[in-house]
Structure 1
Amino acid sequence: MLRQDSQDAPLFGEEDGNIGARKSNIRHPLVSFFHLFFRTSAILVYLLCDIFSSRFIACMVTIILLLSCDFWTVKNVSGRLLVGLRWWNQVDTDGKSHWVFESRKAVVLMGLVLQWANLYGYVRCKLGGQTNLRNMAQNYLGAQMFKQAMKEEP
């Protein structure tokens, strides 16, 4: 992993040193605020855009700007400080572009676990929902046929 001298933040595993002097449980409260502010604002503008303005273009531009600020904040600030993610592009002497990604191993493992849990839940709901629907339809049809058969006998 390469360390760029222009970046002042510590690398992964290095700590700030004043760990015991913190008063808050939130390690970076300002970063956490802006991490939530931009995406929450974009959702609120989306939901309430008809109240603020009837012009579609103004609402769309505002939402795109808020989401762009959210992307920049996650890539450059909160992703790095809160969970230890960094990436950048380097161009070597041959002119080839190489993307460099850094992350803490626990973050990658947790992301993989959560993605597999989402996939498992989706597949389970997809297959289970069809099976339950099919069973309900068969049970309903069977009950209707039984009722018809019982009516015709007497």
Structure 2
Amino acid sequence: MQRQDSQDAPLFGEDDDHMKPKKSKIRHPLASFFHLFFRTSAILVYLLCDTFSSRFIACMVTIILLLSCDFWTVKNVSGRLLVGLRWWNQVDEDGKSHWVFESKKTHSLNTAGSADSRIFWLGLIVCPIFWVIFVFSTIFSLKIKWLAVVIMGLILQWANLYGYVRCKVGGKSNLRDMAKNYIGVQIFKQAMKKTEGP
């Protein structure tokens, strides 16, 4: 597994960012719209499918198409534009599969794109929670025919969430280092409190 800071691979919209006038806080309204559109549409179709249609196959195909469009859009477009992160899998010459997690190194993403970032992370975190709820409700209500659909929704949305969290925080070693540093800081604070005692 690799983590890279992107310098040689241009991200979508990287070249024309400095030419656009800043009219609103959302720098990429179209990417933000589609980031939320496909995932919320899949949830709404799932919730309203039994109400408006009795055709299970048509509903299932519609939901799977929306989930697939969402997966592709989030992985290939909105992650790059809204937060400057991307991840993918590559196979080397020996046939070994490697996951690559990449982060764009710029300060403009932190300052001008805070609204974009909030939209991205909110959509990325909230929607998989709905699919977890749908999995349990499908099992408990014994609607087994929907189980494959909700599991696919959960897997596709969870994969993007996992990939972007890994991009944001880095590899497993970084997660371990962060935990160690946090524990070390807490121990140091406790020790300082005891030495400053009465």
Q: When the two structures are superposed, what TM-score results if normalisation uses the length of structure 1?
A: 0.57
Deviates more, 1:99-108 or 1:44-53: 99-108
Residue matched to 1:102: 102
Whose Rg is larger? 1
Q: Match of 2:40, SS?
A: helix
Moved over 6 A (4+): none
State the superposition RMSD in angstroms.
3.0
Which letter maps to 2:24? S
Q: CA deviation at 1:15?
A: 8.0
Residue matched to 1:124: none
Which letter maps to 2:79? G
Which letter maps to 2:67? L
- 1:3-152 superposed matches below 5 A: 3-4=8-9, 9-10=13-14, 16-18=17-19, 21-103=21-103, 108-109=168-169
Relative contact order, CA 8 A, sep 6+: which one is greater? 2
Which letter maps to 1:47? L
Work out the CA distance in 2 between the residues paired with 1:8 and 1:104. 11
Gap change, CA 1:64 and 1:55, over 3 Å in 2 = same
Q: Match of 2:87, SS?
A: strand
- Please, which runs of 5 or more residues in structure 2 have no aligned partner? 111-164, 170-174, 176-198
- CA contact under 8 A between 2:12 and 2:77: conserved in structure 1? no
What percentage of residue pairs aligned between the two structures are identical? 77
Work out the CA distance in 2 between the residues paired with 1:67 and 1:39. 6
- CA contact under 8 A between 2:12 and 2:80: conserved in structure 1? no
Which letter maps to 2:71? F
Q: Match of 1:86, SS?
A: strand
Q: CA deviation at 1:54?
A: 0.3
1:88-130 C-alpha deviation (Å, 9 max, x unpaired):
2333232322221113598725xx8xxxxxxxxxxxxxxxxxx
Residue matched to 1:127: none
Q: Match of 2:30, SS?
A: helix
Which letter maps to 1:60? M
Work out the CA distance in 1 between the residues paired with 2:76 and 2:36. 15
- Please, which runs of 5 or more residues in structure 1 have no aligned partner? 113-154
Q: CA deviation at 1:36?
A: 1.0
Gap change, CA 1:42 and 1:8, over 3 Å in 2 = closer
Paired residues, number: 106
Gap change, CA 1:80 and 1:36, over 3 Å in 2 = same
Which letter maps to 1:59? C
